[in-house]
């Protein structure tokens, strides 16, 4: 399905939010969207952001090798704490929101027309801002700060 969409719409930017590992990114219902060495050529000439665990390790470099203009992803698992009572509303969840805002900043920057490296830096600025806010607040939840730091150091741009 993603292949036909790319062929039909030919977007300059591809933003994926799913599950993954070093060799693939998976979308809805477990559909493998991009697989190392198989269909990454479809991303040639595009700015790519994949918010999925470990997609930045092997898949990201393969996407760049296949001709993508830029890539942003994570070399470790993308993690965030959450309140089980807010699972359907993550941006209203005081635990999940800071990490999601930081990663969403990357997507917003790309959508404004910025190249991957600049979008990555915009995300890094947001991570630092949220870390500062978390560390100076009266919040006793160190999991938020721990996850912010983890995701920040796991995000890469190629």
pLDDT digits (tens, 9 = 90+) for 7-40: 999 999 999 999 999 999 999 999 999 999 999 9
Mean per-residue pLDDT, 138-155: 89
> What pTM was estimated for this model as a whole?
0.94
Q: In the chain, where do the E strands start and end?
A: 13-17, 19-20, 24-26, 32-35, 47-51, 70-74, 155-157
Q: How big, in percent rounded to 5, are the helix, strand and coil portions of the chain?
A: 50, 15, 35
Residues β-bridged to residue 15: 49
For residue 93, give the DSSP letter.
-
Question: What is the model's pLDDT at position 142?
Answer: 83
Q: What is the pLDDT of residues 66-82, one digit of tens each?
A: 999 999 999 999 999 99
Indicate the average pLDDT of the chain: 95
Residue 88 contacts by C-beta under 8 Å, 6 or more apart in sequence?
A: none
């Amino acid at each position: 399905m993603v292949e036909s969409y790319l062929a039909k719409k030919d977007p300059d930017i591809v933003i994926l939010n799913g599950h993954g590992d070093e060799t693939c990114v998976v979308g809805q219902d477990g559909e493998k969207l991009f697989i190392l060495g198989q269909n990454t050529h479809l991303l040639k000439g595009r700015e790519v952001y994949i918010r999925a665990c470990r997609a930045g390790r092997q898949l990201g470099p393969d996407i760049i090798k296949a001709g993508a203009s830029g890539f942003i992803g994570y070399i470790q698992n993308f993690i965030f704490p959450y309140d089980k009572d807010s699972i359907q509303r993550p941006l209203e969840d005081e635990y999940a929101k800071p990490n999601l805002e930081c990663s969403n900043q990357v997507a917003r920057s790309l959508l404004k027309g910025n190249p991957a490296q600049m979008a990555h830096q915009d995300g890094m600025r947001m991570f630092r801002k949220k870390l500062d806010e978390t560390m100076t607040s009266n919040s006793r939840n160190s999991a938020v700060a721990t996850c912010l730091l983890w995701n920040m150091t796991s995000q890469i741009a190629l």
